Each structure stands twice: as C-alpha cells, then as structure tokens.
Amino acid sequence: MEITSAEFVISNTDVKKCPAGIFPEYAFIGRSNVGKSSLINMLTNRKGLAMTSATPGKTMLINHFFINKNWYLVDLPGYGYARRGQKGKDQIRTIIEDYILEREQMTNLFVLIDSRLEPQKIDLEFMEWLGENGIPFSIIFTKADKLKGGRLKMNINAYLRELSKQWEELPPHFISSSEDRLGRTDILNYIENINKN
C-alpha cells in the first residue's frame, strides 16, 4: 500500500473527544521509549509527524493521524515509565485503558516489544489483559537494527516461547527497525488486508 497522505488531526486525553466517524484505526502501544512514534513516522514516510524523543515519556496523549483519507494511525502514551511517579503512571494507564476498551473504531492494536530485551512481565501482563478483554492485537518487535541476526532470532523465539505458555494460538508478529525501515511493507500490507475485509 502506498501512503499518499498523512495528516495530524487531534491530541486528546479523552476517548470521547477522538475523531467521530467510522474509519478503522490502528493504534500503537508498548513501554515508554520502545519506538511507537518512530514507527509511525517510518510507516508514513513523514519524519516529524509523530513526536519522538530519546527520553522516555514523550507521548502523553492519544494522537490521531489520518492516513490516505480513509483510516487512522493512533500514537498512544507508553506504559510503565517509572519516573512519572505512581499518580502519573495511573493517569496514563487510565487514558490507555479507556481508549482500548471504549474505542469501537480501534480495529487492531500493535503491541511493540523491544527486541533487545528478555520477556518483560509488564508486557506479558498487558497482553494477558488484552486477551481477557477480547482486544485484537499483533506484536511488533522493534529496534531490530540494534541486534545481530542470531541474537535477534534467539530473543524473538524466547518471547514466542513465553507467550505460548499464555496463549493457545500466538498473535501475528512483525520485526521492525525504524532506522533501516525494516517491516514497513509487511505491516502496511497487514493493515491493507484488514481494511479490505
């Protein structure tokens, strides 16, 4: 799929203020700093569309980007950023959970996982919560450029092994690098196929 237009529409903390209409949307979630905003820029070929930062906790709001005038990409705040303090973490958690549970247009959630790390409890628990609530999701292993091929494969297999303890059927997964533009075609094709059905 070609991206012919990508426009920022609105930032929110309130799911009720998200754009009206029936266009399908695809949201990106994961721990702070995992690369959600960078991935949106890579997919859309627009460097400064979503705000990125080397410091975790950059995205604090629900951000809607209108793509090809018929679907949305949604950038969400990261979870689990300790330096925000408990109150801050709880606020972000509420924004994320309300969006995920209440946003009917949300067609698929991409859960981003840092491919350099061992399976993290916070991610596994989050995906368990998605399962309990019947939320459709897929996984994207990010920052693949930071690892050598063998190590990358090992980490991803370890993750999938851990997930198979939790899930009878594994969700679809992708490998990405926003530096090398890895995964772009696969992720866009996946979205295109869902949009068609």
- Interface residues with Mg ion (CB under 5 A) are 36-37, 58-59
> Considering the complex, what minimum distance in angstroms separates the CB of residue 83 from ligand GTP?
11
102 binds, among Mg ion, ligand GTP, none (CB under 5 to 8 A by kind): none
| Residue number of the CB atom closest to ligand GTP | 78
| Residue number of the CB atom closest to Mg ion | 59
164 binds, among ligand GTP, Mg ion, none (CB under 5 to 8 A by kind): none
Please identify, using beta-carbon distances, which residue of 37 and 177 lies nearer to Mg ion: 37
Please identify, using beta-carbon distances, which residue of 20 and 54 lies nearer to ligand GTP: 54
38 binds, among ligand GTP, Mg ion, none (CB under 5 to 8 A by kind): ligand GTP
33 binds, among Mg ion, ligand GTP, none (CB under 5 to 8 A by kind): ligand GTP
d(CA 165, CA 155): 16
Whole-angstrom CA distances from 72 to 19, 69, 136, 162 are 10, 8, 16, 31
Please identify, using beta-carbon distances, which residue of 58 and 163 lies nearer to Mg ion: 58
Phi and psi angles of residue 166, each rounded to the nearest 5 degrees, phi first: -95, -35
